[in-house]
Amino acid sequence: MITLRGLTKRFGSTVAVDALTVDIAPGRVTGFLGPNGAGKSTTMRMVLGLDRPTAGQALVGGRAYRELRRPLHEVGALLDARAIHPARSGRAHLRAMAHSNGIPIRRVDEVLDTVGLDGRAAGKPGRTLSLGMGQRLGIAGALLGDPPVLMFDEPVNGLDPDGVRWVRHLMRSLADEGRTVFVSSHLMSEMQLTADQLVVIGRGRLLADAPIGDVIARGTVAVRVRSPHPDGLAALAARLTAAGANVEAADRNELTVTGVTADQVGDLAHELGVRLHELSAQAASLEQAFMELTADSVEYAGGGAR
């Protein structure tokens, strides 16, 4: 388990992580989400002892990382796929890691096989590795000590679709073995397929710590409406807008409505005599729920199209 209690990090006058308190439990994949600059990487660095907290605690299995005698046996992490000496081969990199923590050298080939790096790829100097190969090597390093706690920061960057699917299945299998799996990502669609629990932060503060279904349920449900009669649909849109609904027209024959239920839209269409070809509630997505949840925490908001 990873335990954060009042975890705070300031860089001068900037508060990167603000009194973060949360438990990352074993046996599930916990997704770690937040806009750019939210404090995700800083939080992970504090768990690993790479940054010292200004206040609070970050514990792995009830102990600070610096207290772990053989840390690779306790927690494995991928924070930066490029964190390898440019002239050292991937296999040599893993062997050095294994030696530092008393891990049998045979384990190096085992994890290389797990992540799909053959002998030729593992023998390449670090500077020649693609981003995708670097990610696989970093995951191999995280698995090297067979630890009960695993942390991954953007593990699918640079991977092709098959690689992304492989990482998803790996995360799930690790959690199914009872391990603690803590994963940050900007790919909402992938998190929706992978995570059981979500921790969402914005400007360093906790915004949500809940099962993924509960977070998605916070998103706005839209109603899609299609009609072969543009004039009738325009009248329906006007009445819905007057009733306080938010109406967007995809084209002359289709509307997307929020703020009312599908039943209410259907009743009003019947009252106006508007024939409908579609009336359907569109389930909220994680991306939509995330955007709404973090709307006030975005560091750099994009402008409209020009």
Query: Residues 177, 264: one domain?
Result: no
d(CA 49, CA 270): 63
Structure-model confidence comparison of residues 174 and 295, the more confident one: 174
The CA distance from 77 to 99, in Å, is 17
48-62: per-residue pLDDT in tens?
999 999 999 999 999
In a domain, 216, yes or no: no
Predicted confidence (pLDDT) at residue 301 exceeds the cutoff of 60: no
Same domain, 155 and 203: yes
Q: How many domains does the chain have?
A: 2
pLDDT tops 70 at residue 138: yes
Is 60 within a domain?
Answer: yes
- Residues 212-238 pLDDT 10s: 999 998 888 889 999 999 999 999 999
176-196 pLDDT, tens digit each: 999 999 999 988 989 999 999
Distance in angstroms (rounded) separating the CA atoms of residues 224 and 140: 45
**Could you give phi then psi for residue 155, rounded to 5 degrees?**
-70, -15
Same domain, 126 and 105: yes
Question: Is 288 a domain residue?
Answer: no
Adjacent-strand bridge partners of 149: 75, 180
Assess whether 206 and 228 both reside in one domain: no
- CA 163, CA 249: separation in Å to the nearest integer? 38
Pick from 210, 244, 265: which residue ends a domain? 210
What would the mean pLDDT of 244-251 be, rounded to a whole number?
91
Q: Rounded to a whole number, what is the largest CA-CA distance in the chain?
A: 77
Model confidence pLDDT, tens digit, residues 91-112: 999 999 999 999 999 999 999 9
Same domain, residue pair 9 and 146: yes
Same domain, 57 and 123: yes
Same domain, 268 and 169: no
CATH of the domain at 277: 3.30.70.790
Q: What percent of the chain has pLDDT over 90?
A: 73
- Give yes or no: residues 200 and 254 share one domain: no
Task: Please state the pTM of the whole predicted model.
Answer: 0.84
- For the chain, state the CA radius of gyration: 24
pLDDT at residue 169 above 60? yes
Domain boundary among 156, 176, 210: 210
In the structure, how many helices (H) and strands (E) does the chain have? Answer: 11, 13
Same domain, 98 and 182: yes
Residues β-bridged to residue 246: 258
* Residue 249 covered by a domain: yes
End of a domain among 210, 231, 259?
A: 210
Q: By residue range, what is the domain housing residue 57?
A: 2-210
Strand order in the sheet with 254-258: 246-251, 254-258, 222-226, 278-282
